[in-house]
Amino acid sequence: MNVLFCTTSFPPGFEALKRNLSSQHTLRVKDTSRPLEEQISDIEVLSAAGFPDRVARKTLESAPRLRLVHQFGVGYEAVDIEVATEFGVYVANTPGANSIAVAELTILLMLSLIRDFPEALTTIERGKWGEPMGTELYGKTLGLVGIGNIGAEVAKRASAFGMKVLAYDVYVPEKVFAELGAKRVDLKTLLRESDIVSLHVPLTKETKDLIGEKEFKLMKKTAFLVNTARGGVVHKDALYKALTTGEIRAAALDVFWVEPPDPKDPIFKLKNLIQSPHIGSVTYEAYDNIAKIVAKNVDRVAKGLPPEPCLNPSVVPRKN
């Protein structure tokens, strides 16, 4: 099958897929100088770590041979699943493949916030011997909004630091909370009681702007927010207000409302905001795990089987 990898800004992802894809398939990378729709008339599989354009009706109409749209990662909000189903195209992602990578980055951001590490890193280069006062993760309360694959890995690591873990998730069964040593609470309780709030939910109609002005008012003034999920889960203007008025102490973002974000946006000038360029899953191990799942699903679809997991199991696959 002809496979097109659309995320040209992540060469390691392309190389990982190239290593794992069977030689019976042909792998190409998107030409950034041309519209996607001009490059997919013979393509049977589209894959990307983050589709630069929404994969919707216009794209699917330009790809008569397309059989599978495969997110090279977890979040699939850039794919119109309803339209893909209408066109008989499978949609798949790779849940769990990057969980450890994102969980480790989450812990890194938590530590950076709580120890004011960015300030410490720059003191010597600025000719100063500053000692910014920090605090410890030990004994603090972590609130996990979402305790699926990634949230569960964060919970394990937080427990190792001696943190108390609260979690809010309407889809995960009670036994998972018990196994992770996390206390199940509603969102308001989590926001009121947590020293650090960490977000691990997909971007859906239900989670868009989940953390907004009302939610920030519930949080402690000493609280930190970490978002390694999706930018749209947090209302940007509400976050800016919370950081500038002292409603919360600081925040760390690995995901943004538009990617790449505008560096001139006033929010990125705030000293109590840490940013990283959506690198949660950017490790060699995670990319290899993801590529193996994509490659396996390309093989499955080539044989007339659905991908695992399939995000639109009701689809009637098109016949080429």
Tens digits of residue pLDDT in 278-301:
999 999 999 999 999 999 999 999
The residue from 82, 179, 259, 308 that is catalytic is 259
Domain with CATH 3.40.50.720 in the chain: 2-97+283-302, 99-275
Nearest residue to 21 via CA among 40, 2, 7: 2
Minimum mean pLDDT range among 4-18, 104-118, 258-272: 4-18
Collapse the DSSP code of 232 into the 3-class scheme (helix H, G, I; strand E, B; otherwise coil) and give the result: helix
The residue from 230, 235, 247, 249 that is catalytic is 230
Specify the pTM.
Answer: 0.89
Q: Does residue 318 carry a catalytic annotation?
A: no
Q: The tokens of 48 are what?
A: 């990307």
Contacts 24+ apart (CB under 8 A), 299-305: 299/22, 301/1, 301/44, 301/45, 301/67, 301/68, 301/90, 302/1, 302/24, 302/25
Q: What is the pLDDT of residue 124?
A: 77
Q: Does residue 15 carry a catalytic annotation?
A: no
Looking at mean pLDDT, say which of 76-90, 236-250, 304-318 comes out highest.
236-250
Tell the CATH topology of 2-97+283-302: Rossmann fold (3.40.50)
The length of the chain in residues reads 320
Predicted confidence band of residue 186 (pLDDT cuts 50, 70, 90): very high
Q: What percent of the chain has pLDDT over 90?
A: 80
The arithmetic mean of pLDDT across residues 292-313, rounded, is 96
What CATH homologous superfamily does 99-275 map to? NAD(P)-binding Rossmann-like Domain (3.40.50.720)
Burial of 23 (0-12, 13-18, 19+ CB in 10 A): exposed
Q: What is the pLDDT of residue 9?
A: 65
Q: Does residue 230 carry a catalytic annotation?
A: yes
pLDDT digits (tens, 9 = 90+) for 25-56: 999 999 888 888 899 999 999 998 766 667 88
* Pairing relationship of beta strands 250-253 and 183-184 according to DSSP bridges: unpaired
Please name the residue that has the structure tokens 């995901």.
255
